[in-house]
Structure 1
Amino acid sequence: MQALPRITVEVPVLGVGNGGSDYEALGNHVNALRRVQGLHLTLLHIGILPDLAQEVADWTKGMTSTDAAIRGTVSWLQALPVLEGFAGSAERLIVLGGGSVAGLEIDVPPEVHDYRVFLVRGLHNLLDELLVDDVDDFILGSRALGFRSPRWIPHVAVGRPQTRDKGPRQIPPLTVEFGESQIRNGRFLPAVDGP
Structure 2
Amino acid sequence: MLPPPRVTIEVPLLSLGDGPAAFEALGSYVDALRRPRGLHMTLLHVGILEDFAADVAAWTKGFTSKDSALERTASWLRGLPVLEGFTASAQRLLVLGGGRVSGLEVEAPQAVRDFQLSLVVALHGLLDDLAVDNIDDFILSSPALGYRSPHWVPHVAVGRPKTRRDRTIEIEPLALEFGASRIRNEWALDGVELTP
Give the match's secondary structure for 1:9: strand
Which residue number in structure 2 is paired with residue 121 of structure 1?
A: 121
What are the superposed Cα offsets for residues 127-167 of structure 1, whole Å, 9 maximum, x if unpaired? 00001111111111111001111111100000011123311
Which residue number in structure 2 is paired with residue 167 of structure 1?
A: 167
Give the match's secondary structure for 2:173: strand
Pairing 1:33-182 to 2, within 5 Å after superposition:
33-182=33-182
What are the superposed Cα offsets for residues 51-85 of structure 1, whole Å, 9 maximum, x if unpaired? 01001001111110111001111111000111000
Q: In 1, Cα distance between the equivalents of 2:62 and 2:142?
A: 17
Give the match's secondary structure for 2:167: coil
Q: In 2, Cα distance between the equivalents of 1:28 and 1:139?
A: 36
Pairing 1:26-37 to 2, within 5 Å after superposition:
26-37=26-37
Specify every segment of 5 or more residues in structure 2 that has no aligned partner in the other structure, as ranges: none
Q: In 2, Cα distance between the equivalents of 1:147 and 1:116?
A: 15
Specify every segment of 5 or more residues in structure 1 that has no aligned partner in the other structure, as ranges: none
| Percent of paired sites with the same residue | 58
Give the aligned residue type for 1:19: G
User: Structure 2 length normalisation: TM-score?
Assistant: 0.96
Give the match's secondary structure for 1:37: helix
**More deviation in 142-151 or 158-167?**
158-167
Give the match's secondary structure for 2:81: coil
What are the superposed Cα offsets for residues 166-187 of structure 1, whole Å, 9 maximum, x if unpaired? 1100000001110000000001
1:191 positional shift = 4.2
User: Structure 1 length normalisation: TM-score?
Assistant: 0.97
Give the match's secondary structure for 2:22: helix
1:2 positional shift = 2.5
